[in-house]
C-alpha cells in the first residue's frame, strides 16, 4: 500500500487513531530518540492508562521479581519503546469502542483482539519468541485493519460482512480487495508503520492470516512475531471465541502444537492462564469477555482455575505472598503426588517429572524457580540433574532441594558439590519440607531482587551513556552541515599536535574559504547560501582521506586536519578538493560553479602551536585569494609574507 493512499485515508478523518494521551505520545516520539521522561509523564497524566501499563509490567515474564508500582519502573523493566507501544495500543482501544458500521461487532472485535494479545504474550513468554509486552501490543492491534475498513466505509463494510455471513468459507481478504481495492491486512501494516511501530509488528499483522505467512519476512524477528500472532489467533478462535465447535478445530490445534513443538500439557497451562488474564483485562478495559467463552471447550484445568478465583485475581492485584514455580522430580508416584499436594496447598505452582532427564527438559523449557528432586532415580539421578542445571544459563540460578534417603545422608557433601542448595532426609515431616521451601523462597527472592536491580541499573547506565554521547555530539556538531564544529576542531587539533610532537610524525591542515560567498548570500538569499555550504561540506567529506577530519569553523570557512600527512601530501589533497568543488556545479537559477581558495600548512614549517599553524594556513588562504582565487597555496609567497621554513 502506498503512503499516499494512507494519507488520503487519514484525511477522511475516519481512520481509527490514537486519541488524547495516545496522540501526545505519538507526537513526543516522532523522532528516533526520545526521552523516557517525556513518555512516562504523558502516560501518567491518564490514571487508567497508568494502571494498565503497570499491570502489563507486572504480568507475564516477571513473576517473582519486585512488583512494579510506577510508570517509570515499568519503562525501566520493559524498555521505553515497549511502554510507548503498549500505551499507544491501549489508547486505541479506549478511543474506538464503538462505531457506525451496523454489521460490525465492536465489542466482539475488542474481546477477540484482547484474547489474541494475551495469548501472544503468553506464547512469547513460553516459547521465548519475543518480548512478552511487545507480543501483547502486536496482538492487540493485529485486527486493526478490519476496524479501520469498518470505520472508513461503514455501510459498504456492513454489506460485505452480510455477504460473508451467507458464504462463511469466503476469503474475507479477497472480498475486501474486490470491494475496496485494499484489504485489512495491508491497511493494518500501513497504519502500524505510520504509528512508528517496529517493522516486525507491521510485517506480522500483514502476514499472520496468510497461508504462506512467513514468506517474505524481512528478518527473523518479523518471522517470530508472525508465528506468535498466528498461534494466538488460532487459539483465540478455537478456544475463546463463541461459535459452534467443529472437528476441524481440534485438528488445527493439534497441527499448531506440533508446529510450535509445544507439549499439550504445557499448552493447557498457557491456555488456562491466558483465559484468566483475558477476563481480568476484559474487566479492566470494560470489554465483555464473559459472553465469549464456549464452556464445553474450556479445559477441565481452566474450569477448575475459573471456579475458584482468589480475591486477588478478582481485584487484579498480586497476592501477598506469591507462590513459587516448583518442579518436583521423583520416580515414586506416591511420593511425587504427596509432595505436589503439600506444595500446592501452600500456594506454589507445581509441575512434575518422573526422572532427572525429563526434569531437565522441563526445567529448560519452563525455568522453574525451584526444583525439589529425589536423589536415586533411573535415567538421570538428582545429582546429575543438579549438575546439568548449573551448566545452563537458563537454569543456573534455580534453587535445588534434594530429597535423600538415610543411606545417602553421609554423601550430602557430594551433593552440595554438585550444586544442590539444600537437602531433606526421607521420610520427612511435611511441615519441615514446607519450611525448607520457604527458606529457599527467601533466597530466591533475594537473588531475583539483586538480579532485577542489576538489570535496571545496567539499563539506566546504558541510557545515560547514550544520552551523554548524544549531548556531547550535539555540542560538537554544526547544525547546518552536520560537520564537526570549531569547538571540536580546536580540541582535535590540540590532540593531533601533541601526538605529532611526541611521535615526531608530520601534521598538516588545510584552511578552506568559499570564494565570493557574501555575493551569493546577497544576490540569491540565505537559503541559497545554506545550500552552498551544505554542498561544499558534502564535497569535502567525499574527497578527503579516511583519517582526515573535516570541520566547519564558522561562516564560509572550513578546516581539514590531515594527521600524519606531509605538506606535499596535504597540498595534493587540497588540490583534489579544489577541483571537486569547482566540478560540483550548483544551480543558482543559472548554472555557475562555486569555487574555494585553500591554504595548506604543516608543522614542519616550524610552527609549534595550534595558533601558529592556523595563522599560517589562514595567511596562505589570503595569498590564494590575492592571486586570483580558486587555487591552493601551500607556500608563503609574495613580498613581505616570506617566512623561513
Partner 1 sequence: MAEASSEPVLDPAALQALRALGGDEDPSLFVEVIELYLDDARAHVSNLRAALASGDLRLLERSAHTLKSSSANVGALNFSELCRELEQAARAERLQSTPSLVARAEREFQAVCAALEAARG
Query: 194 Cβ partners below 8 Å, 6+ apart?
Result: 6, 10
Question: What's the min distance (Å) between Cβ of 300 and partner 1?
Answer: 15
497 and 609 in contact (C-beta within 8 Å)? yes
Supply 242's cell numbers: 463463541
Looking at the Cβ atoms of 227 and 352, the one nearer to partner 1 is: 352
Nearer Cβ to partner 1 (243/341): 341
CA 315 to chain centre: 30
Tell me how far, at minimum, the Cβ of 430 lies from partner 1, in Å: 9
Greatest Cα pair distance, the chain, in angstroms, is 108
Complex with partner 1: residue 342 or 615, whichever CB lies closer: 342
335 touching partner 1, by CB under 8 A: yes
Residues 258-277 that bind partner 1 (CB under 8 A): none
Minimum distance from residue 407 beta carbon to partner 1 (Å): 9
All three cell numbers of 295, joined, read: 464452556
We find the least distance from the C-beta atom of residue 155 to partner 1, in angstroms, to be 57
Could you say which residues in the range 420-439 bind partner 1, by CB under 8 A? Answer: 426-427
The binder of partner 1 chosen from 214, 284, 338, 579 (CB under 8 A) = 338
Stretch touching partner 1 by CB under 8 A, among 122-130, 234-242, 334-342, 541-549: 334-342
- C-alpha dihedral (195, 200, 205, 210), degrees to nearest 10: 150
300 interacts with partner 1 by CB under 8 A: no
> CB-wise, 266 or 335, nearer to partner 1?
335
Q: Rule CB under 8 A: choose which of 332, 575, 582, 612 binds partner 1.
A: 332
Per CB under 8 A, does 333 bind partner 1?
A: yes
Our CB check for partner 1 shows the closer of 401 and 511 to be 401
Find the shortest distance in angstroms from Cβ 379 to partner 1.
Answer: 11
Which residues are designated catalytic?
Answer: 556
Cβ(437)–Cβ(403) below 8 Å: no
Count of residues touching partner 1 (by CB under 8 A) = 13
Taking the mean position of all CA atoms in its chain, how far away is CA 540?
A: 37
Residue window 452-481: x/- pattern of binding to partner 1, with contact defined by CB under 8 A:
------------------------------
594: DSSP letter:
-
Binding to partner 1 by residue 100, rule CB under 8 A?
A: no
As a residue count, the chain comes to: 645
CB of 330 to partner 1, least distance (A): 9
- Residue 376 in the binding site for partner 1 (CB under 8 A): yes
List strand residue ranges (DSSP E) for 503-542, in order. Answer: 507-514
How many whole angstroms separate alpha carbon 112 and alpha carbon 120?
Answer: 12
**Are the CB atoms for 208 and 233 separated by under 8 Å?**
yes
Confirm or reject binding of residue 309 to partner 1 (CB under 8 A). Answer: no
Using the contact rule CB under 8 A, the part of the chain among 181-189, 225-233, 257-265, 333-341 near partner 1 is 333-341
Beta carbon nearer to partner 1, 29 or 404:
404
320 contacts 295 by C-beta, under 8 angstroms: no
Would you say 149 or 383 has its CB closer to partner 1? 383
Distance CA 45, CA 473 (A): 32
Binders of partner 1 among residues 381 to 420 (CB under 8 A) are: 405
CB-based contacts of 259: which residues, under 8 Å, 6+ apart? none
Residues 6 or more apart whose CB falls under 8 angstroms from that of 528 comprise 520, 521, 588
State in angstroms the smallest separation of the CB of 374 from partner 1.
8
Give the cell for residue 150.
469498518
Is residue 194 a contact point for partner 1 (CB under 8 A)? no
Q: How far is the CB of 296 from partner 1 (least distance, A)?
A: 24
With beta carbons less than 8 A apart as the criterion, state whether 154 and 162 touch: no
DSSP string covering 126-185, please?
Answer: HHT-S-HHHHHHHHHTTTHHHHHHHHHSHHHHHHHHHHHHHSTTS-HHHHHHHHHSS-HH
**Which residues contact partner 1 by CB under 8 A?**
331-335, 337-338, 341, 376, 378, 405, 426-427
Amino acid at each position: 500500500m502506498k503512503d499516499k493512499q494512507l494519507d488520503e485515508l487519514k484525511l477522511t478523518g475516519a481512520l481509527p487513531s490514537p486519541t488524547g494521551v495516545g496522540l501526545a505520545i505519538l507526537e513526543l516520539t516522532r523522532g528516533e530518540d526520545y526521552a523516557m521522561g517525556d513518555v512516562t509523564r504523558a502516560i501518567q497524566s491518564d490514571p487508567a492508562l497508568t494502571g494498565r501499563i503497570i499491570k502489563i509490567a507486572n504480568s507475564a515474564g516477571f513473576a517473582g521479581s519486585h512488583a512494579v508500582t510506577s510508570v517509570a519502573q515499568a519503562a525501566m523493566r520493559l524498555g521505553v519503546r515497549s511502554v510507548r507501544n503498549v500505551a499507544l495500543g491501549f489508547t486505541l482501544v479506549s478511543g474506538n469502542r464503538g462505531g457506525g458500521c451496523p454489521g460490525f461487532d465492536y465489542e466482539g472485535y475488542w474481546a477477540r483482539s484482547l484474547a489474541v494479545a494475551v495469548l501472544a504474550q503468553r506464547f512469547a513468554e513460553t516459547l521465548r519468541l519475543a518480548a512478552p509486552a511487545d507480543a501483547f501490543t502486536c496482538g492487540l492491534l493485529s485486527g486493526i485493519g478490519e476496524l479501520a475498513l469498518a470505520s472508513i466505509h461503514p455501510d459498504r463494510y456492513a454489506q460485505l460482512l452480510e455477504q460473508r455471513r451467507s458464504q462463511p468459507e469466503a476469503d474475507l481478504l479477497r472480498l475486501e480487495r474486490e470491494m475496496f481495492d485494499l484489504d485489512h491486512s495491508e491497511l493494518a501494516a500501513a497504519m502500524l508503520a505510520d504509528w512508528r511501530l517496529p517493522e516486525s509488528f507491521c510485517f506480522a499483522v500483514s502476514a499472520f492470516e496468510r497461508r504462506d505467512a512467513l514468506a517474505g519476512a524481512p528478518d527473523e524477528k518479523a518471522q517470530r512475531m508472525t508465528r506468535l500472532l498466528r498461534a494466538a489467533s488460532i487459539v483465540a478462535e478455537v478456544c475463546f471465541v463463541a461459535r459452534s465447535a467443529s472437528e476441524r478445530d481440534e485438528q488445527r490445534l493439534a497441527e499448531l502444537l506440533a508446529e510450535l513443538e509445544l507439549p499439550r500439557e504445557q499448552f493447557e497451562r498457557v491456555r488456562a492462564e491466558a483465559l484468566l488474564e483475558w477476563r481480568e483485562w476484559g474487566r479492566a478495559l470494560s470489554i465483555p469477555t464473559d459472553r465469549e467463552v464456549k464452556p464445553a471447550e474450556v479445559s477441565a484445568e481452566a474450569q477448575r482455575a475459573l471456579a475458584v478465583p482468589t480475591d486477588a485475581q478478582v481485584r487484579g492485584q498480586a497476592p501477598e505472598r506469591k507462590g513459587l514455580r516448583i518442579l518436583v522430580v521423583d520416580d515414586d508416584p506416591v511420593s511425587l503426588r504427596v509432595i505436589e499436594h503439600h506444595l500446592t496447598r501452600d500456594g506454589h505452582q507445581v509441575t512434575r517429572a518422573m526422572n532427572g532427564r525429563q526434569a531437565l527438559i522441563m526445567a529448560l523449557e519452563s525455568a522453574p524457580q525451584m526444583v525439589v528432586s529425589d536423589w536415586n532415580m533411573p535415567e538421570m539421578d538428582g545429582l546429575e540433574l543438579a549438575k546439568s542445571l548449573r551448566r545452563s544459563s537458563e537454569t543456573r540460578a534455580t534453587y535445588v532441594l534434594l530429597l535423600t534417603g538415610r543411606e545417602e545422608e553421609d554423601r550430602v557433601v557430594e551433593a552440595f558439590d554438585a550444586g544442590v542448595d539444600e537437602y531433606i532426609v526421607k521420610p520427612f515431616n511435611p511441615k519441615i519440607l514446607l519450611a525448607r521451601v520457604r527458606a529457599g523462597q527467601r533466597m530466591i527472592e533475594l537473588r531475583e531482587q539483586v538480579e532485577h536491580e542489576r538489570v535496571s541499573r545496567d539499563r539506566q547506565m546504558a541510557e545515560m551513556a547514550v544520552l551523554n554521547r548524544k549531548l556531547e555530539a550535539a555540542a560538537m556538531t554544526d547544525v547546518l552541515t552536520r560537520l564537526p564544529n570549531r569547538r571540536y576542531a580546536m580540541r582535535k587539533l590540540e590532540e593531533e599536535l601533541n601526538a605529532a610532537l611526541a611521535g615526531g610524525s608530520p601534521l598538516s591542515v588545510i584552511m578552506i574559504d568559499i570564494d565570493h560567498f557574501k555575493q551569493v548570500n546577497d544576490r540569491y538569499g540565505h537559503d541559497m547560501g545554506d545550500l552552498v555550504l551544505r554542498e561544499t561540506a558534502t564535497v569535502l567529506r567525499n574527497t578527503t582521506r579516511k583519517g582526515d577530519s573535516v570541520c566547519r569553523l564558522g561562516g564560509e570557512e572550513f578546516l581539514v586536519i590531515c594527521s600524519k600527512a606531509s605538506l606535499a601530501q596535504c597540498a595534493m589533497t587540497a588540490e583534489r578538493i579544489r577541483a571537486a568543488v569547482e566540478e560540483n556545479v550548483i544551480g543558482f537559477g543559472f548554472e555557475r560553479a562555486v569555487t574555494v581558495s585553500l591554504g595548506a600548512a604543516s608543522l614542519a614549517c616550524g610552527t609549534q602551536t595550534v595558533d601558529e599553524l592556523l595563522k599560517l594556513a589562514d595567511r596562505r588562504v589570503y595569498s590564494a585569494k590575492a592571486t586570483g582565487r580558486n587555487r591552493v597555496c601551500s607556500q608563503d609567497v609574495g613580498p613581505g609574507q616570506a617566512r623561513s621554513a
